[in-house]
Amino acid sequence: MATHEPIHQISAVRTSGGPVAARVVEQIQDYIERNGLQPGHKLPPERVFIEQLGVSRSSLREAIRVLSTLGLIDVRHGDGMYVAGAVQHASPAAIFDATEEHALRNLIETRLGVELAAATAATLRADAEDFERLHALVEQQLSGLDKNDREKWEPLGFEIAVAEVSGNSWLYNLELMLRDAWLSLSGGLRASVSRYTEWGHEHRAILASMESRNVPQVQRLVTAHLSLERFEEDLRSRRKSADGRRQGGGSP
């Protein structure tokens, strides 16, 4: 039997903030990598991970479901857990590999699905304290805009906060990846589709409907907030402006 590195020795590696299950996913991936485990190698039983990582059974099982969905772990009921594939840490660059404008379109379309689900779940699950935090975030965003301090606008900050309130760690981590994908685009492209004031007021409207537990209205507002037509219009304007500059003229 192979001797594996004790789990507690790697429990602090790459443990970023966020839901417990998301951190456990990273810890198990590190365990596999640092021990050089290959497909077919057996992993320690659940109780060992629970004891040495100090997590609940539900958090561990949620992490295992993520790893199983990714094809990294094979759960054989009655036998245990086995490594099923090589560990691969996804990056925004690996997902958004088209031209920048296509990447932006992919990003918006993907956000629509993730954020409809997150906003719906948050509307049903948020408590008074959650709404208080979300209100503070929205007003901080709008206050910064009033002072022309757009540098302090946190990309997808409201959406990430809503995903966290949803209690769904998968949605939360997808939103973090979408935020990183947005930041991976060039500053010029991001600036051409930036509508900070509109976004801020739309966040306020979405939050008001969430607080009233009006799920259909929340879904309508999120869909409007992520209007594909609006982004397509911005992209067309950007292309026209670029064509004008190439022809020696100014922006139309």
Give pLDDT tens digits for 117-152. 999 999 999 999 999 999 999 998 888 887 666 666
**In this predicted model, which residue has the larger pLDDT, 219 or 196?**
219
Exposed, middle or buried by CB within 10 Å (0-12, 13-18, 19+), for 129?
exposed
Per mean pLDDT, which of 6-20, 23-37, 108-122, 224-238 is the most reliable? 108-122
Task: Identify the band that residue 17 occupies on the pLDDT scale cut at 50, 70 and 90.
Answer: very low
Out of 64-73, 121-130, 236-245, which region has the weakest mean confidence (pLDDT)? 236-245
Q: So what's the pLDDT on residue 88?
A: 59
Task: Identify the band that residue 113 occupies on the pLDDT scale cut at 50, 70 and 90.
Answer: very high
In angstroms, the Cα distances linking 117 to 95, 167, 173, 175 are 21, 11, 13, 11
Q: So what's the pLDDT on residue 87?
A: 58
Q: Taking residues 177-190, what's their average pLDDT?
A: 84
Distance CA 242, CA 252 (A): 10
Domains and CATH numbers, the chain: 11-83 (1.10.10.10), 92-242 (1.20.120.530)
